[in-house]
């Protein structure tokens, strides 16, 4: 900076200071930073020793451990389940704990559960007889845990208090950092009919043969998560917000009728006691069969067994390491098949269990889809670390647990099924098996953030569905691509364009959003897909996504850890994207407002003349002018620019630039943005010779003006069409303003009408 | 379309099971003084409703409904359960046809040459004869402004000053 400028600055400052004091009342309002590209400092928690600014676990990161030893017994006749469990809880936090919180999720089924009272609705003036009966004449289900005791290692009762679905266990002594505490709980509860009484687990009755299929989960008192983000995560279970669970090791013995077939989380410890010799032979064959499932229990065998009702009992023993939960399924109706899948240098078993009512759909597709899911998810994240993945058929549930999940997709009674049922079943199996990664291993807090597992998982589900269509085309024949429900950008526009009163940001608690499906599954999955395919590109995205998965494998990530890692591993600033898509309900709508055409002229253009007049300028040095087509009084707009501007011609000749081609066409394209979200502008310019050129302006093109951006396009060929977002990849909710000249975009209604009116 | 399938599926993926009865309709006022009505219903729901109301015993395939065989029944069904009134005067709906979109049918109905009016009333009772839990989501679009409402069994009439 030179001396003169400093003097001027000082003078300027002085003058403006005087001015300020005189006209204080007339000053403009100051700006605060509302730029769409500002960083998320207000929204994000501060980085710390537990979680770093790069999105990785920090040097002081810790997580608690909860190990379980359980004895479970199923009473098939009375539809009850009994259990006693010993929990060993290890305090790895730096904090002293005065009490522990244990989750009693079954208590949502207690007769007096407040969750029955939180939905509004009011009176109906009319009922169907069936609805009336259900509403007024049916006793509410007598569910929920019956806790028989809570005792310490020496069988001394422990003081405890149940608040809805959470039980506080008071510790006799402070549990210091690094210490463990063991205690035992004995409990039982009535199992509900999940077909008629809802829920994520329970039984289905088959009236024809008097059998039941049990899918059992959230069935034991489970430790809540304690960490530096929430303290104890003891937000009540109301029904929509799923689970937050610490990792641990499990040793579980389950006693069921001796004619039942059972599978569960964990490695079976007593195969010789519970398998017949023939089953073991088939199992050994399945372990070496990589191309198709091997039947462990055939349909004919299952149909034979379901006729009897054994009074004898059998105990199945499982152990699981480093899992966050435990679930099982048991029935004498189960058909069972398995095959091996190579993941890295390890063999994993893909397993399916289903009653005959699931066939022929289940024997044809379930295990094959499990295998394909294990491969694709491993490719995009990390190798599946467990030894098996089981898909169990339940009539209308899709629900996930470590190594085991329950999936819908039931054919008609005659065995026929529509494509909707088939692709719905394949989609849900991919989704629920995929949950092994998110949240079973990359273990987010589902109670608070449903999108972190549902949205991220639905995104990988989409990739897996599309890959399955390519890897095993006969499954989708005659379709060319798997008919995914979610993922592609244009599938979310209907949701994002609805009345704002019906929308909540993705960053909302799942209990409080209007429709959780598009909110926590569809929109975040689409956002990630757009990030991958349009904003970041596949290579950058896939590397960053894998980095996140690996960093948080067997740990508890928070939303910031995901957002930060995606930037950290890619060098793409994404705060604007996270802000718009995850923290607001804004939508994408970008359009072409107008296109102005210009030609080169020797005469001052109308615009220049106006400026001269305003400023009292009478003379200009010779310049090259660009004049709007509308002001072409001398009819020179179609002439060669070098004929129109001798000045330019001479300059090029003098500077030996005459070999350069001078553009003939100058277009000013005005892009407008009625929508709140910033997105890249993807635009195809179509020339009169039939060729097309695509330009992608990065989202940052909006950083200085959030409403309108002008671009000058030069060319030697005439542009006949301009199309915005030609491949529908930005989730633009209104495409009627996406082309120039404006295309009459026929509505769905008008299209149909002109079709039927011929 | 997809949104409402999502609605259905989520309750399955999340934690099952409660079948969610929902339809959507768009009431679009055009520049040419028509009201265009586009309605999406789940196929199986609609087939059940039609069978029940007209005591149809045969299996209804998608194609049989799309072909004009049952169009007079369908027209009658919509005119029975969907009422559009202008200043209290009921207006007949003209049923144009239906299309097959995955697990939904899309129905097209129209009222041309709208009378001048102050208040339009929409009474959407579609499928209420079948399910008391049915919810019909209604989008109304006029001059580029879109509003959304929900019609339930105990609260099915929507009156708008537009």
Share of chain A above pLDDT 70, in %: 94
The residue of chain B with its CA nearest to that of A491 is B2
Asked if pLDDT for residue B134 goes beyond 80, the answer is no
CB within 8 Å: B110 and A515: no
Enumerate the CATH 2.60.40.1730 domain ranges in chain A, comma separated: 65-116+133-449
Query: From the CA of A754, how many Å to the nearest CA of chain B?
Result: 10
Residue A545's pLDDT band, with cuts at 50, 70 and 90, is very high
Residues of B with CB below 8 A from A520's CB?
A: 10
CB within 8 Å: B139 and A499: yes
| Average pLDDT rounded to a whole number, residues B19-48 | 85
Residue B138's pLDDT band, with cuts at 50, 70 and 90, is confident
Asked if pLDDT for residue A119 goes beyond 80, the answer is no
Whether complex ipTM tops 0.90:
no
Residues of A with CB below 8 A from B155's CB?
A: 122
Query: From the CA of A23, how many Å to the nearest CA of chain B?
Result: 43
Query: From the CA of A239, how many Å to the nearest CA of chain B?
Result: 8
What per-residue confidence (pLDDT) applies to A353? 98
CB within 8 Å: A198 and B17: yes
Higher pLDDT, A217 or A656: A217
| Average pLDDT rounded to a whole number, residues A73-86 | 97
Query: From the CA of A414, how many Å to the nearest CA of chain B?
Result: 14
What per-residue confidence (pLDDT) applies to A698? 97
pLDDT digits (tens, 9 = 90+) for A595-648: 999 999 998 999 999 999 999 998 888 899 999 999 988 889 889 999 999 999
User: Where do we find the tokens 């244009």?
Assistant: A490
Residues of B with CB below 8 A from A747's CB?
A: 28, 36
Query: From the CA of A407, how many Å to the nearest CA of chain B?
Result: 9
Q: Find the CB nearest A122 among B2, B108, B154.
A: B154
What per-residue confidence (pLDDT) applies to A418? 87
Residues of B with CB below 8 A from A420's CB?
A: 102-103
Q: Find the CB nearest B13 among A125, A194, A428.
A: A428
What per-residue confidence (pLDDT) applies to A125? 57
Which strand (E) or helix (H) includes residue B51?
Answer: helix B43-54
Q: Which fold has domain A65-116+133-449?
A: Immunoglobulin-like (2.60.40)
Asked if pLDDT for residue A261 goes beyond 50, the answer is yes
Distance, CA of A726 to CA of A732 (rounded, Å): 11
Between the CA of residue A386 and those of A189, A269, A346, A423, A705, what are the distances in Å? 30, 15, 10, 27, 51
Highest mean pLDDT among A114-128, A312-326, A512-526: A312-326
* Average pLDDT over all residues of chain A: 92
| Average pLDDT rounded to a whole number, residues A564-580 | 98
Asked if pLDDT for residue B18 goes beyond 70, the answer is no
Query: From the CA of A125, how many Å to the nearest CA of chain B?
Result: 6
Interface contacts (A, B; CB < 8 Å): 131
- Numbered residues of chain B with Cβ closer than 8 Å to any chain A Cβ: 1-3, 5-19, 28, 36, 38, 96-97, 99, 102-103, 106, 108, 110, 131-133, 139, 146-148, 153-155
Closest CA to A672 of A727, A738, A733, A720: A738
Most A-contacting residue of B16, B22, B139 (CB-CB within 10 A), to test interface: B16
Closest CA to A531 of A672, A671, A677, A679: A679
| Average pLDDT rounded to a whole number, residues A475-494 | 92
What is the SS3 assignment for A204? Answer: strand
Residues of A with CB below 8 A from B81's CB?
A: none
DSSP letters of A323-368?
Answer: ES---EEEETT-EEEEEEEEETTEEEEEEEEE-GGGTTHHHHHHHH
Asked if pLDDT for residue A504 goes beyond 90, the answer is yes
Closest CA to B25 of B154, B102, B126, B116: B126
The residue of chain B with its CA nearest to that of A520 is B10
CB within 8 Å: A454 and B13: yes
Query: From the CA of A266, how many Å to the nearest CA of chain B?
Result: 22
What is the SS3 assignment for A235? Answer: coil
Closest CA to A264 of A68, A408, A405: A405
Distance, CA of A628 to CA of A667 (rounded, Å): 10
Residues of B with CB below 8 A from A123's CB?
A: 154
A261: phi then psi, degrees, rounded to nearest 5 = -105, 135
Residue A123's pLDDT band, with cuts at 50, 70 and 90, is low
Q: Which 8-state DSSP code applies to residue B116? A: P
Asked if pLDDT for residue A500 goes beyond 90, the answer is no
pLDDT digits (tens, 9 = 90+) for A693-739: 999 999 999 999 999 999 999 999 999 999 999 999 999 999 989 99
Residues of B with CB below 8 A from A501's CB?
A: 148
| Average pLDDT rounded to a whole number, residues A169-195 | 97
**Domain boundaries, given as residue ranges, for chain B:** 2-161
What per-residue confidence (pLDDT) applies to B62? 81
What is the SS3 assignment for A32? Answer: coil
What per-residue confidence (pLDDT) applies to A758? 66
Model pTM above 0.80: yes
What per-residue confidence (pLDDT) applies to A11? 33
pLDDT digits (tens, 9 = 90+) for B73-90: 999 999 999 999 999 899
pLDDT digits (tens, 9 = 90+) for A439-479: 999 999 999 999 999 999 999 999 999 999 999 999 999 99
Asked if pLDDT for residue A204 goes beyond 60, the answer is yes
CB within 8 Å: A200 and B15: yes
Residues of A with CB below 8 A from B123's CB?
A: none
CB within 8 Å: B96 and A752: yes
A10-40: burial string, b at 16+ Cβ within 10 Å, e else:
eeeeeeeeeeeeeeeeeeeeeeeeeebbeeb
pLDDT digits (tens, 9 = 90+) for A4-44: 333 333 333 333 333 344 455 667 788 889 999 999 999 99
DSSP letters of A423-483?
Answer: HHHHHHHHHHHHTIIIIIIB---TTT-THHHHHHHHHHHHHHHHHHHHHSHHHHTT-SS--
Query: From the CA of A198, how many Å to the nearest CA of chain B?
Result: 5
CB within 8 Å: A198 and B36: no
């Amino acid at each position: 900076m030179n001396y003169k400028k400093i003097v001027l600055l000082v003078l300027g400052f002085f003058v403006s200071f005087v001015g300020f004091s005189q006209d204080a009342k007339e000053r403009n309002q100051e700006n605060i930073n509302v730029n769409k590209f500002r960083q998320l400092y207000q929204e994000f928690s501060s980085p710390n020793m537990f979680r770093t600014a790069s999105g990785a676990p920090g040097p002081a990161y810790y997580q608690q451990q909860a190990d379980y030893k359980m004895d479970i017994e199923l009473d098939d006749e009375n539809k009850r389940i009994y259990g006693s469990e010993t929990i060993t809880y290890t305090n790895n936090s730096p904090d002293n704990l005065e009490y522990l919180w244990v989750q009693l999720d079954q208590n949502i089924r207690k007769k007096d559960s407040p969750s029955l009272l939180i939905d509004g609705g009011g009176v109906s003036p009319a009922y169907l007889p069936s609805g009336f009966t259900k509403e007024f004449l049916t006793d509410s289900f007598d569910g929920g845990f019956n806790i028989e005791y809570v005792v310490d290692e020496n069988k001394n009762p422990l003081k405890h208090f149940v608040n809805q679905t959470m039980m506080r266990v008071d510790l006799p002594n402070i549990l210091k950092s690094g210490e463990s505490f063991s205690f035992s709980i004995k409990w039982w509860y009535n199992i509900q009919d999940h077909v008629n009484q809802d829920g994520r687990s329970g039984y289905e009755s088959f009236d024809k043969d008097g059998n039941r299929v049990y899918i059992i989960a959230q069935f034991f008192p489970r430790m809540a998560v304690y960490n530096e983000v929430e303290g104890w995560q003891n937000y009540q279970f109301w029904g929509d917000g799923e689970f937050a669970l610490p990792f641990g090791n499990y040793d579980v013995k389950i006693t069921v009728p001796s004619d039942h077939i059972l599978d569960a989380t964990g490695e079976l410890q007593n195969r010789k006691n519970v398998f017949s010799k023939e089953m073991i032979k088939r199992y050994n064959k399945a372990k070496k069969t990589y191309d198709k499932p091997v039947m462990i229990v055939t349909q004919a065998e299952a149909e034979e067994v379901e006729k009897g009702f054994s009074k004898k009992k059998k105990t199945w023993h499982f152990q699981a390491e480093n899992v966050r939960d435990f679930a099982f399924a048991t029935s004498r109706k189960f058909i069972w098949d398995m095959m091996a899948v190579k993941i890295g240098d390890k063999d994993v078993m893909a397993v399916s269990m289903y009653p005959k009512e699931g066939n022929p759909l289940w024997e044809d597709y379930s295990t094959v889809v499990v295998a394909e899911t294990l491969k694709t998810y491993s490719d995009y994240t990390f190798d599946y670390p467990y030894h098996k993945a089981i898909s169990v058929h339940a009539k209308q549930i899709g629900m996930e647990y470590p190594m085991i999940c329950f999936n819908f997709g039931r054919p008609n009674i005659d065995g026929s099924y529509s494509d909707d049922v088939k692709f719905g079943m394949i989609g849900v199996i991919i989704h629920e098996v995929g949950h092994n990664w998110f949240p079973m291993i990359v273990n987010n807090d589902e109670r608070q953030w449903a999108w972190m597992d549902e949205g991220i998982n639905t995104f990988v589900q989409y990739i897996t569905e599309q890959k399955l269509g390519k890897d095993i085309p006969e499954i989708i024949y005659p379709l060319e691509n798997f008919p995914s429900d979610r993922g592609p950008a244009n599938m979310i526009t209907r949701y994002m364009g609805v009345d704002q009163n019906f929308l909540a940001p993705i960053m909302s608690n799942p209990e409080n959003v209007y429709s959780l499906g598009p909110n926590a599954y569809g929109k975040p999955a689409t956002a990630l897909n757009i990030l991958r395919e349009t904003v970041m590109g596949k290579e950058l995205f896939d590397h960053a996504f894998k980095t996140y998965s690996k960093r948080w494998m067997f740990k508890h990530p928070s939303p910031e850890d995901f957002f930060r890692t995606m930037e950290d591993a890619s060098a793409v600033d994404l705060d604007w994207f996270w802000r718009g898509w995850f923290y607001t309900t804004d939508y994408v709508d970008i359009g072409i407002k107008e296109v102005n055409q210009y030609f080169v002229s020797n005469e001052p253009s109308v615009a220049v003349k106006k400026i001269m007049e305003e400023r009292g300028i009478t003379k200009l040095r010779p310049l090259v002018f660009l004049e709007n087509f509308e002001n072409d009084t001398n009819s020179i707009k179609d002439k060669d620019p070098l004929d129109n501007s001798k000045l330019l011609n001479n300059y090029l000749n003098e500077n030996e630039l005459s070999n350069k081609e001078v553009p003939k066409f100058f277009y000013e394209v005005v892009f407008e943005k009625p929508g709140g979200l910033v997105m890249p502008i993807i635009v195809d310019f179509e020339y009169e010779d039939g060729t097309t050129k695509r330009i992608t302006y990065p989202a940052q093109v909006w950083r200085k003006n959030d409403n309108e951006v002008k671009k000058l396009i030069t060319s030697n060929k005439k542009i006949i069409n301009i199309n915005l977002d030609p491949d529908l990849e930005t989730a633009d909710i209104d495409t009627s303003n996406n082309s120039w000249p404006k295309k009459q975009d026929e509505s769905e209604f008008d299209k149909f009408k002109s079709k039927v009116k011929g | 379309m997809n949104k409402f399938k999502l609605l259905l599926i989520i309750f399955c993926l999340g934690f099952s099971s409660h079948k969610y009865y929902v339809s959507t309709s768009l009431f679009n006022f055009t520049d040419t003084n028509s009201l265009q009505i586009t309605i999406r219903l789940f196929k199986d729901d609609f087939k059940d409703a039609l069978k029940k109301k007209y005591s149809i015993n045969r299996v209804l395939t998608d194609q049989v409904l799309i072909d004009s065989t049952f169009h007079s029944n369908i027209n009658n069904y919509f005119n029975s359960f969907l009422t559009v009134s202008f200043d209290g005067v009921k207006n007949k709906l003209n049923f144009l046809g239906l299309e097959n979109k995955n697990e939904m049918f899309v129905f097209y109905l129209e009222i041309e040459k709208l009378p001048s009016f102050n208040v339009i009333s929409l009474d959407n009772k579609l499928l209420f004869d079948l399910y008391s839990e049915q919810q019909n989501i209604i989008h109304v679009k006029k001059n580029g402004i879109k509003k959304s409402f929900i019609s339930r069994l105990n609260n099915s009439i929507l009156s708008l000053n537009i």
